Amino acid sequence: MIAYSSPAPVGGILHERALLEYESARILLQNGVPSTLPFMVIQYGDKYQFNGKRMGVVVNLSPERDSIRLSCIQYGKAVHRGIDAEADAYFDKIRTSLGVKGKPELETTRLQTINLLARKIGKLIHDFSAAGLYRYSSEWSNFEYDFKTEEVFLTDLDSTLQLKDIPAALRPLQVLRDLGTAVYRLVVKFGFPSVLDDYTLTNLLRFDPLTELLVGYFPNAPYDEVEAISKRLWQCFTPYWFLLKKHKEAIWTDWSRSRRQSYKMDHDLFYILTITLVFPLFKDSSLFQLYPSTLTIDDMLQKAKNYLGERYEYFLYLLNEGKMPHQQSVEKGYELTQFHKKGEGVIATKPFKKGQIVMVGKFVKISGGNHSHAAQIAKNVWAIHEGLTHKVNHSCEPNIGIHVNETGAHDFIAMKDIAKGDEIVIDYALRNYQVEHFPGECRCGSTQCRVKITGWKDLPINKKEEYYPWAATYLLELEKEASH
Ligand SMILES: [Zn+2]
């Protein structure tokens, strides 16, 4: 078939690059991945050279007469109805093809359409990687729609390369990067200057095209896991988006491109966040079998740390949905449990020898006043410790003592051997000089029970002697002070 086009100014790219694009299109065709079809490569004569290299052109075929890109629906001419008849007609045609009802001028109609396209694009990027290719610039201006097959297809393959040409260890990372690109491009374009008025957070989160894209890519992943990932990514984007929205008038009229870009989301942070969040899903996917890797999530975090530097702290904050991450020790030897009568408590899930550290103390917060979860760490200073230390119940016959560590926080040390399944208990007198928050009677059940839970100050002398090596050191200092 001979393709004619109207006369156009001479254009071209490096001949070798034209060959590359042709080859990529051929590989996609071979693998049944929708894309422009490879037709021919032309090498220009000697006269046309760039940096001493011959130039040329690649001719790929499209199933559609008009080359209209999907970007026109998300952030282009079809967003504002009545401005461009051709774009409006294209949007109508796509909606009909996808079966989307609803008034075309409504945000919700547009988002329904975007959702269906996003799911197809997710699958397409997956299939692109499965075909052995990497590096696709998955901006929606590089996707078109084939009305006959009702599929999105790839165009502009001139930067695409083959995975077989890079070391095996890098392949899964390049594959993940292509997914990261697709996710980033989709999100960031909701902040395109001309559409800052056209989307609301409520509807974006309700329709959530990001989840659709990820479901298209990971069709077998649990939906709620995908949704949870998407939620964190929106949390990363939203503050920047609202900053742009706040300045939307000025952005469109007065702002330079560089000023506009300075308000844009930190894209490497977003990429790394995406790649880290989807990594567990990726490990379960068929792509991981094609491109296996020995990388663990800890390796990914280490890479993120190296790359992001001081932004790593913010990255962790986003990763943990707005909570600062707890130190997660894999070999944690205790867990929270629910007792039949007395409520919650902590039990040992492995045995501990006398003197062993059971919980490492880490501060969450330092406070100038006492409250029921706080542990006293100095005369007028109380602290909230991370983790489960505040869930450890009191007993007048404890198996845990205190060691003040180098950060000033309380490590919990086994005062005696602890068996697996034992409740971990501490005497509050080991860390509080005075106990004011336990008005009721002690029900620890020990034969040594003092009945009233007291602080160090009110312990009988024989108990103090028994407790000396296990008590927080400042208690002894306070006692010295008091006796002067
Ligand atoms: Zn007691």
Residue with tokens 């490096």: 14
Ion ligand 1: protein residues whose beta carbon lies under 5 Å? 396, 442, 444, 449
Query: What's the gap in Å between 448 CA and the centre of ligand 1?
Result: 7
Residue 68, both tokens: 């209209």
The sign of the CA dihedral 340, 346, 349, 352 is: negative
Q: Out of 129-133, 323-327, 440-444, which region has the weakest mean confidence (pLDDT)?
A: 323-327
Q: Are strands 393-394 and 425-426 parallel, antiparallel or unpaired?
A: parallel
Q: What are phi and psi of 410, to 5 degrees?
A: -90, 115
Query: What's the gap in Å between 454 CA and the centre of ligand 1?
Result: 10
Query: What's the gap in Å between 341 CA and the centre of ligand 1?
Result: 16
Helix (H) or strand (E) holding 144: strand 143-146
Q: Are 276 and 269 in contact (CB under 8 A)?
A: no
Per DSSP, 326 falls in state P
Residue 379, classified by CB atoms within 10 Å of its CB into exposed (0-12), middle (13-18) or buried (19+), is exposed
Q: Are 405 and 411 in contact (CB under 8 A)?
A: yes
Residues 6 or more apart whose CB falls under 8 angstroms from that of 279 comprise: 176, 295, 297, 300
- 290-306 mean pLDDT: 89
Query: What's the gap in Å between 370 CA and the centre of ligand 1?
Result: 21
Q: Which of 102, 115, 80 is nearest to 198 (CA)?
A: 80
Query: What's the gap in Å between 474 CA and the centre of ligand 1?
Result: 23
Q: Which regions of the chain carry the CATH code 2.170.270.10?
A: 334-483
- Return the ∠ at Cα 98 (arms to 92 and 103), rounded to 5°: 45
pLDDT of 330 reads: 43
Residues 6 or more apart whose CB falls under 8 angstroms from that of 164 comprise: 132
- Of the pLDDT bands very low, low, confident and very high (cuts 50, 70, 90), residue 9 is low
Give me the amino acid identity at 279: F
Query: What's the gap in Å between 446 CA and the centre of ligand 1?
Result: 6
pLDDT of 8 reads: 59
- Residue 235 pLDDT > 50: yes
pLDDT of 5 reads: 62
Share of the chain above pLDDT 70, in %: 94
Q: Name the CATH code of domain 334-483 (choices 2.60.40.1080, 1.20.1600.10, 1.10.10.10, 2.170.270.10).
A: 2.170.270.10
Query: What's the gap in Å between 398 CA and the centre of ligand 1?
Result: 9
Query: What's the gap in Å between 414 CA and the centre of ligand 1?
Result: 19
Residue 430, both tokens: 């080991």
Query: What's the gap in Å between 453 CA and the centre of ligand 1?
Result: 7
pLDDT of 328 reads: 46
Query: What's the gap in Å between 383 CA and the centre of ligand 1?
Result: 24
Q: Which of 208, 210, 211, 220 is nearest to 281 (CA)?
A: 220
Q: Out of 217-221, 250-254, 338-342, which region has the weakest mean confidence (pLDDT)?
A: 338-342
Query: What's the gap in Å between 389 CA and the centre of ligand 1?
Result: 19
Between CA 331 and CA 244 the distance in angstroms is 45
- Of the pLDDT bands very low, low, confident and very high (cuts 50, 70, 90), residue 360 is confident
Query: What's the gap in Å between 226 CA and the centre of ligand 1?
Result: 48
Query: What's the gap in Å between 202 CA and the centre of ligand 1?
Result: 53
Helix (H, G, I), strand (E, B) or coil at 115: helix
Could you tell me the maximum CA-CA distance found in the chain, to the nearest angstrom?
A: 105
Q: Which of 435, 481, 426, 425 is nearest to 458 (CA)?
A: 435
Query: What's the gap in Å between 456 CA and the centre of ligand 1?
Result: 14
Query: What's the gap in Å between 423 CA and the centre of ligand 1?
Result: 14
Query: What's the gap in Å between 376 CA and the centre of ligand 1?
Result: 20
What is the residue-averaged pLDDT of the chain? 89
Query: What's the gap in Å between 447 CA and the centre of ligand 1?
Result: 8
Q: How are strands ordered across the β-sheet holding 357-359?
A: 357-359, 410-414, 400-404, 425-426, 393-394
Helix (H, G, I), strand (E, B) or coil at 432: coil
Query: What's the gap in Å between 415 CA and the centre of ligand 1?
Result: 17
Q: What are phi and psi of 332, to 5 degrees?
A: -55, 130
- Of the pLDDT bands very low, low, confident and very high (cuts 50, 70, 90), residue 439 is low
Read off the pLDDT of residues 302-351 as tens digits, 9 standing for 90 and up: 899 999 999 999 999 888 876 665 444 445 788 888 887 778 889 998 89
- Residue 1 pLDDT > 80: no
Whole-prediction pTM value?
Answer: 0.70
Q: Are 191 and 236 in contact (CB under 8 A)?
A: no
Angle between helices 223-246 and 267-283 (to 10 degrees): 170
CA–CA distance from 409 to each of 204, 374, 468 (Å)?
A: 44, 12, 18
Query: What's the gap in Å between 430 CA and the centre of ligand 1?
Result: 13
Question: In the chain, what are the helix, strand and coil shares in percent, each to the nearest 5?
Answer: 45, 15, 40
Give me the amino acid identity at 26: R
Query: What's the gap in Å between 89 CA and the centre of ligand 1?
Result: 79
Query: What's the gap in Å between 179 CA and the centre of ligand 1?
Result: 58
Query: What's the gap in Å between 443 CA and the centre of ligand 1?
Result: 6
Between CA 118 and CA 177 the distance in angstroms is 17
Q: Are strands 425-426 and 381-385 parallel, antiparallel or unpaired?
A: unpaired
Query: What's the gap in Å between 149 CA and the centre of ligand 1?
Result: 75
Q: How are strands ordered across the β-sheet holding 375-378?
A: 363-367, 381-385, 375-378
- Of the pLDDT bands very low, low, confident and very high (cuts 50, 70, 90), residue 297 is confident
Query: What's the gap in Å between 457 CA and the centre of ligand 1?
Result: 16
